[in-house]
């Protein structure tokens, strides 16, 4: 039976490191890390995420500001706010919660955020830093960054030399940055996707298998190489009439099948999902250290 990689435990460790680093920065320089989260409109799921980001930031000892803008906010008004936050020395991380309403160009908004405050890691500059291996100055999207922390802790090393990694999914937010992080750690990386021929056979080559496709329980037990480290990034709601809430949350991996074959595996819920907000806090304290000219803590 595979080792269960516990997102709750690892996220809590990351948050402890963030808190300690914040206390050290405040006591040594007087600089308090600051994060600004911007939400436009009233999408309930986005509101939930934004609230949890604000709460975690306060727990970490950050200055935390949430800008709630009405759905009819114009693109120019949003860009003006981003300009103000870019110029605000007390803010080290800026995150505009996506999606934004249709009349706003999300690409324009993302690129307007200063790359040195872009804690989502979505700007072209940070994508370029990641792809060229300049991780010392990059911000990396939080979900793949969290998955990478789980892989390092599970395998006990940041050097994946000689290991084969397969990432199923090629999104800009997870699949592509995940593949680049694995490559930067010396893994031999394949990105597989919906057009890949014989996907099960490709997955069976993986010492590290990352599933990020958004298809409930698509990756079966017999797709997994015996002893592999399986990272499930999927969060899918499936109907469950027997439950009061009428749905259940499952990953992209058939957990029951895969855990019999894998060496280690992340559950859903309770896995990678819990790492995302923790890594946002890690990126924000990292940004504050960089802006003070100090070496940030490692995660
Ligand atoms: N909406 C869903 N996930 C994310 C994320 O990682 N960052 C931002 N900014 N918006 C999101």
Cut 0.95: pTM above it: yes
- CB under 6 Å to ligand 1: residues? 95-98, 120, 142
23 alpha carbon – ligand 1 mean position (Å): 27
- Note down pLDDT in tens along the chain; length 299 residues: 999 999 999 999 999 999 999 999 999 999 999 999 999 999 999 999 999 999 999 999 999 999 999 999 999 999 999 999 999 999 999 999 999 999 999 999 999 999 999 999 999 999 999 999 999 999 999 999 999 999 999 999 999 999 999 999 999 999 999 999 999 999 999 999 999 999 999 999 999 999 999 999 999 999 999 999 999 999 999 999 999 999 999 999 999 999 999 999 999 999 999 999 999 999 999 999 999 999 999 99
By C-alpha distance, which of 228, 225, 226, 245 is closest to 237? 245
Tokens read off for 140: 């990396």
Q: Which of 116, 117, 118, 120 is catalytic?
A: 120
Backbone angles phi, psi at 176, to 5 degrees: -65, -50
* Domain 27-114 listed as CATH 3.40.50.10860: yes
Q: Where exactly are the structural domains of the chain? A: 27-114, 142-274
Q: Which helix (H) or strand (E) holds 18?
A: helix 7-29
63 is known as an active-site residue: no
Cα angle: 235, vertex 133, 126; to 5 degrees: 60
Distances (CA, A) of 299 to 6, 12, 159: 16, 12, 14
CATH number corresponding to 142-274: 3.40.50.720
Instruction: Tell me the CA–centroid distance for residue 266 and ligand 1, in Å.
Output: 21
CA of 2 to the centre of ligand 1 (A): 31
Atom 3 (ligand 1) nearest CA: 98
């Amino acid at each position: 039976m595979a080792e269960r990689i516990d997102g709750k435990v690892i996220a809590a460790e990351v948050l402890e490191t963030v808190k300690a680093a914040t206390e050290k920065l405040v006591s040594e320089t007087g600089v308090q890390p600051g994060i600004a989260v911007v939400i436009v409109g009233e999408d309930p799921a986005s509101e939930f995420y934004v609230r949890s980001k604000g709460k975690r930031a306060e727990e970490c000892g950050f200055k935390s500001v949430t800008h709630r803008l009405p759905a009819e906010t114009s693109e120019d008004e949003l860009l003006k706010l981003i300009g103000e936050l870019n110029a605000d020395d007390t803010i080290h991380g800026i995150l505009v919660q996506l999606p934004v309403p249709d009349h706003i160009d999300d690409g324009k908004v993302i690129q307007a955020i200063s790359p040195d405050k872009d804690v989502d890691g979505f700007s072209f500059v940070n994508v370029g830093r990641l792809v060229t291996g300049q991780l010392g100055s990059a911000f990396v999207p939080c979900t793949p960054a969290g998955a990478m922390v789980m892989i390092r802790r599970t395998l006990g090393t940041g050097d994946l030399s000689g290991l084969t990694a397969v990432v199923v999914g090629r999104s800009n937010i997870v699949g592509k940055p995940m593949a680049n992080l694995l490559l930067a750690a010396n893994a031999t990386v394949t990105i597989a996707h919906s057009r890949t021929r014989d996907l099960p056979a490709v997955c069976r080559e993986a010492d590290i298998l990352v599933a990020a496709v958004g298809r409930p329980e698509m990756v079966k037990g017999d797709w997994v190489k015996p002893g592999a480290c399986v990272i499930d990034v999927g969060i899918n709601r499936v109907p469950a009439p027997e439950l009061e809430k009428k749905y259940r949350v499952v990953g992209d991996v058939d957990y029951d099948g895969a855990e019999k074959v894998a060496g280690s595996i992340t559950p859903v819920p309770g896995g990678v999902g819990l790492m995302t907000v923790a890594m946002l806090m890690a990126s924000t304290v990292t940004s504050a250290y960089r802006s003070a000219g100090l070496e940030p803590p490692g995660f």
